[in-house]
Homo-oligomer: A and B are copies of this chain.
Amino acid sequence: VGVNLKAIVTDAPHGGVWLREINEPVEHGDVLVQTVYTGVCGTDRGIVSGSLEFARKQEGFDYLVLGHECVGRVVESRNSSLKEGDFVVPVATMPGGCMNCHIGRPDYCSDGDFRAAGVYRKNGYMRSYFREDSDHLIRVPDPSLSLIAVLTEPLKNVMKVVDLLSLLGYRCITTAPGSTYSGKRALIIGTGPEALLFSRVFCDMGFHVIAVNRHDIGEKHRKLIEKSGAFFVDYSRDKLDGMEFDVAVDTSGDPSAVVYCIRKMARNGILFLFGTNGRAPAYGITGTDIDRVVEYNIAIAGSVDGGRVHYEKALRKLHEWYMQDRDSVRSLITAIRKPEDLDVFRFKEEGEIKSVIEW
């Protein structure tokens, strides 16, 4: 490994994006990893546009290396369970000193002293190489998964929500008479990669899933949703009148969508908020909305990130999907780009679901 690395960097929190050579940083960790694929997501674009105010550089650096969705290949390892050539997914969030961090759940960090690769106080994976502690690397069980494993990081968010749903299931009976979710209804706001991952996981759990957006989506996109067993509805046209949902997930971060969800929840319904969009316009929540939340025992849970346990469940889920039908999961990745194609951070291509950079 040479002294200089190619890296995609930004000037957090001010934004901008550059491909530049950086000096290899001195990093701790028993494993040297060559980056293979990194995914691009809304958070990356938010950092680049300067709209993500909590983005921060790593201490001692005058740039932040982007990238938190990553698959790499082990180049050197001093850990016996990882060997040269293994594909790995890094766990992007590093614990700080609070009690939740201490028990391996920095996604529930209680004091903000965690670090998140590519976002907050830690350089990310959009560079030729990185060194990492084996505790933060998850082995990809099969090389044929090396590309789709880049979806592990976004899918782990879904797996945390599934855990939360299971906990909230102890509140009261929310299953159908046969003890399953069969026939219960789930509403997913959005049709981006997170929304599609939520849709498919909820279909797998037996929910009747409707994914919605405020505009029509392309034929290919719609087919992908239907392949996972869900339905698409353009809810700017079909208001889903008379329908109520037992579970809903907002991936848009848009206040008007969140309020729409509240109005669609069934008794004892659970609404998960996952999407963020600080710049979305405010929307009026009414007294009647609050009444509904109260009278119907509605639970609304914000959920960010996930623990290592959720990365592992996500990778296993991707493996399962890949074996069921490799095309449907592969087709979530709509473009493979070169590190030089910095436009991917500024524009969302027509029909894009997930764009990936190949290193």
Contacts and interface: CB of A to CB of B under 8 A. Distances in A.
Contacts of A103: 99, 102-103, 173, 175, 177, 179
Contact of A302 (B274, B275, B294): B294
Interface string A215-244: 000000000000000000000000000000
A255 B170 CA distance: 28
A54 B296 CA distance: 13
A110 B300 contact: no
Nearest to A267: B110
Contacts of A178: 91, 104, 135, 307-309
Interface string A280-303: 111111111111111111111111
B255 A276 contact: no
B171 A167 contact: yes
A294 B253 contact: yes
A178 B93 CA distance: 11
A268 interface: yes
A83 B309 CA distance: 39
A304 B295 contact: yes
Interface stretch (A19-27, A121-129, A316-324, A337-345): A316-324
A301 B300 contact: yes
B320 A291 contact: no
A172 B108 contact: yes
Interface string A167-202: 110111111111110100000000000000000000
A42 B272 CA distance: 31
A295 B302 contact: yes
Looking at A173, A176, A319, the one whose CB has the most chain B CB atoms below 10 A away is A173
Contacts of A180: 104, 307-309, 312
A16 interface: no
B287 A173 contact: no
Contacts of A54: 295
A111 interface: yes
Contact of A179 (B104, B276, B298, B301): B104
Copies in the complex: 4
A351 interface: no
Contact of A285 (B110, B258, B275): B258
A307 B297 CA distance: 13
Contact of A282 (B164, B176, B287): B287
Nearest to A324: B323
Interface string A239-283: 000000000001001110011000000111000011111111111
Contacts of A206: 312
A97 B275 CA distance: 37
A80 interface: no
Contacts of A56: none
B308 A302 contact: no
Contacts of A107: 297
Given A255-B286, A287-B253, A297 B302 contact: yes
Leading 10 A-B pairs by shortest Cβ distance: A323-B323, A104-B179, A282-B284, A293-B302, A108-B172, A280-B287, A179-B307, A178-B308, A300-B300, A294-B302
Given A167-B171, A300-B300, 8 more contacts: A54-B295, A105-B179, A167-B168, A204-B316, A255-B285, A283-B285, A292-B302, A296-B304
